[in-house]
């Protein structure tokens, strides 16, 4: 069976009631990342490293109220002010995941159209589990840029 990379890509789209500059700031500012990066209010987000530059690294922990901690890390690949942010994504303590997260932004009459992709999953089940997490996180992002 041949798997295409397209079939193992998660794609989500949102229209956020905020200007691009505000959304871009929420995607790139470590203090704001800590406010929305977890999939629900059951998580406290801790940003350990956030070196926002191409080639810079990041490391973020999602601390669940039950005590479980999930830490993700990677490297920024592309940063285009007000347009695009992409970075690699891998969970600590798990087999390396060669995946890439990308946020693309477009102005739509003062609101921001966000196109999100997370590509490179080795299996559909893993992609689907990430869909649950990213769906919650993007809902929280919408709340941060509206507040």
pLDDT digits (tens, 9 = 90+) for 91-145: 998 887 779 999 999 999 999 999 999 999 988 999 999 999 999 999 999 999 9
Q: Is residue 27 predicted with pLDDT exceeding 80?
A: yes
pLDDT digits (tens, 9 = 90+) for 72-96: 999 999 999 999 999 999 999 888 7
Q: How far apart are CA 91 and CA 70, in angstroms?
A: 7
Written as six digits, the tokens of 109 are: 């009459």
Q: Where are the domains of the chain?
A: 9-146
Please say whether the beta carbons of 24 and 113 come within 8 A: no
Structure tokens at 124: 């559909």
> What's the rounded Cα separation, in Å, for the pair 56 and 76?
6
The two tokens of residue 133 are 């997490």
Confidence (pTM): 0.92
Helical ranges in the chain per DSSP H:
20-28, 30-36, 124-146
> Is pLDDT of 39 > 50?
yes
Q: What superfamily in CATH does domain 9-146 come from?
A: START domain (3.30.530.20)
Tell me the CA distances in angstroms from 82 to 21, 22, 58, 85, 115, one per residue in order: 6, 9, 20, 9, 13
């Amino acid at each position: 069976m041949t798997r295409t990379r397209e079939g193992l890509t998660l794609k989500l789209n949102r229209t956020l009631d905020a200007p691009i500059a505000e959304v871009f700031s929420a995607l790139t500012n470590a203090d704001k990342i800590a406010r929305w990066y977890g999939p629900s209010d059951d998580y406290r987000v801790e940003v350990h490293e956030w070196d926002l530059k191409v080639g810079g690294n990041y490391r973020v922990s999602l601390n669940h109220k039950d005590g479980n901690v999930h830490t993700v890390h990677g490297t920024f690949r592309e940063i285009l002010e007000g347009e695009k942010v992409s970075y690699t994504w891998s969970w600590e303590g798990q087999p390396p995941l060669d995946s890439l997260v990308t946020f693309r932004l477009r102005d739509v009459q003062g609101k921001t159209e966000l196109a999100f992709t997370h590509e490179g999953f080795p299996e559909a089940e893993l992609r689907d589990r990430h869909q649950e997490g990213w769906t919650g996180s993007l809902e929280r992002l919408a709340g941060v840029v509206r507040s």
